[in-house]
C-alpha cells in the first residue's frame, strides 16, 4: 500500500496533474455555460418558475433579434476577410529584411494594444459631422461642399464601423501571420527561384500553403470576436441610426442591463454561443481539413 502511494501509476499521476486544470475548466467554462442555459429556461426576473422553451420562441419572433443577427453576420463577413487581407499585407511588410525591424513591428502592436472602445471614440471623431477629419479632408480636396453626416446615415455608419474594425483587428491578424511567415524555411524560396518561379508563384505555391495553419488560427479567433462585436459600434453609434448598426452583443446588453430581462438576455446569449460553435466547427471541419 505504501509503495503504491509513493510510486503512483502513470494513469493516477496523469489524473492528479490534470485535476486542477479540469476543476478550473469547470469553474470558468462549464458552470457559466450551464448557468446561462438554466437562466434561459427560467423566469429569472419575476417568479423564477420554469418556462421551458418560451424564451426561445419569443426570441425567434422578435424582429430585433433577426436585425441584430443580420448586422452581426454582415460585420463578420466583411471585417474578417478584410482584416485577413490587410493583416497578411502588413505581416509580409514586417517580414521584409529591414535593417531596423522594430519600428515596423511596433506599428503593428499599437492598433492591437489600443482598447476597442478608445478606437471607436477615435473613429467617431474622424467621422464627426461638424469637426471630423474625414469631412475636413474631403473639403480640402474639393470632393464635397457641405458636411456629410456619416454616422447618421445607416449605410455609411455601417461602413464606418466595418472600416474601424478592420483597422483595429488587422494588426492582430498580422502578428499571428508574421509568426507563421518566420517559420517558413528560406530554402524553399531559394529552390523556387532556381526553378524560375516568379514572386507571384512563390506566394501562391509556398507562402499561402505553408501559412495556412496560421491563417486558420487567425480566422477562428477573429471570427469569434467578430460575432461578439460590441465596443466599437456601441461607442460610435450606440446601434443607430435606429437599429441599423445594432449587433447581437449590443442587443444582449440592452435586454440584460437596460431592460433587466435576464432570462431573455440569456436566451439571446445562448443563440450567440451556438452561432460561434457552428462557425468554429465549420472552420475546423472544412478549411482546416483542406489545410492539412
Selected residue with higher pLDDT from 265 and 5? 265
Per-residue model confidence (pLDDT) at position 70: 94
Per-residue model confidence (pLDDT) at position 73: 93
**What are the cell numbers at 195?**
526553378
Burial 41-57 (b: 16+ CB within 10 A, else e): bbebeeeeeebeeebbe
Mean pLDDT of 102-128: 85
Query: For residue 285, is pLDDT > 80?
Result: no
Whole-number mean pLDDT of the chain? 85
pLDDT-based confidence at 289, cuts 50/70/90? low
122-to-71, 162, 187, 201, 242 alpha-carbon distances in Å: 22, 14, 44, 40, 22
- SS3 category, 42: strand
Find cell 420554469 and name the residue.
Answer: 50
Which of 5-9, 98-102, 259-263: highest mean pLDDT? 259-263
Per-residue model confidence (pLDDT) at position 290: 55
The C-alpha atoms of residue 186 and residue 182 are separated, in whole angstroms, by 9
Per-residue model confidence (pLDDT) at position 202: 87
What is the distance between the terminal CA atoms of the chain, rounded to a whole angstrom? Answer: 48
The C-alpha atoms of residue 261 and residue 28 are separated, in whole angstroms, by 23
pLDDT per position as a tens digit, 56-100: 998 999 999 999 999 999 999 999 999 999 999 989 888 887 777
pLDDT per position as a tens digit, 100-111: 766 777 777 888
List the domain boundaries for the chain: 68-185+211-291
Find cell 479567433 and name the residue.
Answer: 221
Which of 35-49, 86-100, 245-259: highest mean pLDDT? 245-259
**What are the cell numbers at 197?**
518561379
Q: Pick from 260, 242, 279: which is nearest to 64 by CA?
A: 242
- Fold for 68-185+211-291, please state it: MetI-like fold (1.10.3720)
Task: Return the axis-axis angle of helices 63-94 and 208-227, rounded to nearest 10°.
Answer: 150
Per-residue model confidence (pLDDT) at position 292: 53
Query: For residue 3, is pLDDT > 70?
Result: no
pLDDT-based confidence at 2, cuts 50/70/90? very low
Per-residue model confidence (pLDDT) at position 1: 46
pLDDT-based confidence at 286, cuts 50/70/90? low
Per-residue model confidence (pLDDT) at position 233: 94
Mean pLDDT of 122-128: 90
Amino acid at each position: 500500500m505504501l509503495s503504491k502511494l509513493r510510486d503512483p501509476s502513470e494513469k493516477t499521476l496523469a489524473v492528479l496533474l490534470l485535476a486542477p486544470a479540469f476543476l478550473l475548466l469547470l469553474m470558468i467554462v462549464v458552470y457559466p455555460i450551464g448557468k446561462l442555459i438554466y437562466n434561459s429556461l427560467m423566469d429569472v426576473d419575476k417568479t423564477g418558475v420554469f418556462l421551458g422553451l418560451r424564451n426561445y420562441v419569443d426570441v425567434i419572433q422578435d424582429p430585433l433579434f433577426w436585425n441584430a443577427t443580420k448586422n452581426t453576420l454582415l460585420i463578420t463577413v466583411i471585417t474578417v476577410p478584410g482584416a485577413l487581407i490587410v493583416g497578411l499585407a502588413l505581416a509580409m511588410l514586417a517580414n521584409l529584411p529591414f535593417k531596423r525591424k522594430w519600428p515596423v513591428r511596433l506599428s503593428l502592436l499599437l492598433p492591437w494594444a489600443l482598447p476597442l472602445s478608445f478606437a471607436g471614440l477615435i473613429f467617431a471623431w474622424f467621422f464627426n459631422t461638424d469637426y471630423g477629419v474625414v469631412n475636413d479632408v474631403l473639403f480640402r480636396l474639393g470632393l464635397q461642399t457641405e458636411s456629410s453626416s456619416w454616422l447618421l446615415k445607416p449605410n455609411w455608419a455601417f461602413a464606418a464601423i466595418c472600416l474601424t474594425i478592420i483597422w483595429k483587428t488587422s494588426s492582430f491578424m498580422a502578428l499571428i501571420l508574421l509568426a507563421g511567415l518566420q517559420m517558413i524555411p528560406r530554402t524553399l524560396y531559394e529552390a523556387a527561384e532556381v526553378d524560375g518561379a516568379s514572386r507571384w508563384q512563390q506566394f501562391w505555391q509556398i507562402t499561402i500553403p505553408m501559412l495556412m495553419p496560421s491563417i486558420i488560427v487567425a480566422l477562428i479567433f477573429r471570427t469569434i470576436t467578430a460575432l461578439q462585436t460590441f465596443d466599437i459600434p456601441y461607442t460610435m453609434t450606440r446601434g443607430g441610426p435606429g437599429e441599423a448598426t445594432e449587433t447581437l452583443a449590443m442587443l444582449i446588453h440592452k435586454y440584460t442591463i437596460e431592460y433587466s430581462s435576464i432570462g431573455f438576455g440569456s436566451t439571446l446569449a445562448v443563440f450567440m454561443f451556438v452561432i460561434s460553435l457552428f462557425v468554429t466547427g465549420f472552420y475546423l471541419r472544412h478549411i482546416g481539413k483542406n489545410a492539412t
